[in-house]
Chain A
């Protein structure tokens, strides 16, 4: 409940404040958002599985974001930034899909 409220508050704040993204963060923000989405869906699935743990969620959320940013940074340094961020997005997208499939099975038994 409080998590959903937090999500809504964050979206509303982002839309209304419209802060400028710092130039050094610009390449990492989209990947970080996708990674955080992955962690969130994973946590939702874990909750439906009955194995949700706040500590695990927090750690997975933060590490997901950091690792995604690190991969993009490494890719930029190696000159394969766009390819590597595409790869990260694909992998995270697949994980999101599988998590959502599990959530769907839980909620709709289908």
Chain B
């Protein structure tokens, strides 16, 4: 404690200067005694400690001087914030997963729908098609092969799984296609869904080539029928059958799609 104890007066009391300034000057110019050295050492300690403290505060993190309680509450608030952030992260990831899943599902459904659309357009004869299949050539030198025979041939091919049928590269045969000899029958001519085709008839069918070929040659089938009428049937199985003609688009007047 800074004491100014009266009974501890210095030894040179009688000739001490009365003025504070004089005393200061006197203290500065007096020869250093042992006690002054000790005081100097203590002050050096003070300066050292102060400088160390200042530089420690400057160099260290802002939490270095914090008390335990403050640090604990700081840690608690930080971990609470971390918990909140973790929960938010989990929620957001869940949302993202759900969105991604629905996107994937929609994409899959769209792809499936596109595939179905392609199939249906082929079945309806709205677009061309290609694939493995058979090419059946029916010659009719006598003009005796009629719509009935060809219709039987088409039915056999459909039973054998033909997916697209075309006659003479001109007439696409779909579900709604009719085959007639025409109102004024001419030998060697047929009306296939409004298109006139002439013999020899070349039937292109896309499907399993073996099954389709078999469907034409079984006893009492197309081959026998045509040969009975005086014509010939030859079956080829080229690698790729191309069906390019299109069926006329259906002209619906009354029907509406219903779900």
- Which residues of A come within 8 Å of B, CB atoms? 1-15, 18-21, 26-27, 29-30, 32-33, 36-43, 45-58, 60-64, 76, 79, 81-82, 95, 99, 103, 105-107
Contact = CB atoms under 8 A, between A and B. Distances in A.
Size category of the B interface is: 35 or more
Given A51-B10, A56-B5, A95-B2, A107 B47 contact: no
Given A37-B50, A39-B1, 11 more contacts: A1-B30, A8-B47, A13-B51, A14-B52, A27-B67, A33-B46, A40-B46, A49-B4, A50-B23, A54-B34, A54-B36
A12 to B, nearest CB: 8
B20 A106 contact: yes
Contacts of A50: 10, 13, 16-17, 23
Interface string B225-258: 0000000000000000000000000000000000
B48 A14 contact: yes
Contacts of A4: 43
Nearest to A81: B67
Given A3-B40, A95-B2, A9 B27 contact: no
Nearest to B2: A42
Interface in B76-124: none
Interface of B is mostly: helix
Contact of A51 (B4, B27, B45, B65): B4
A63 B46 contact: no
B9 interface: yes
22 contacts: A1-B28, A1-B36, A10-B46, A14-B51, A14-B54, A15-B51, A26-B56, A32-B49, A42-B1, A46-B4, A48-B24, A51-B4, A53-B5, A53-B9, A54-B36, A54-B39, A60-B1, A61-B46, A64-B1, A82-B67, A106-B21, A107-B20
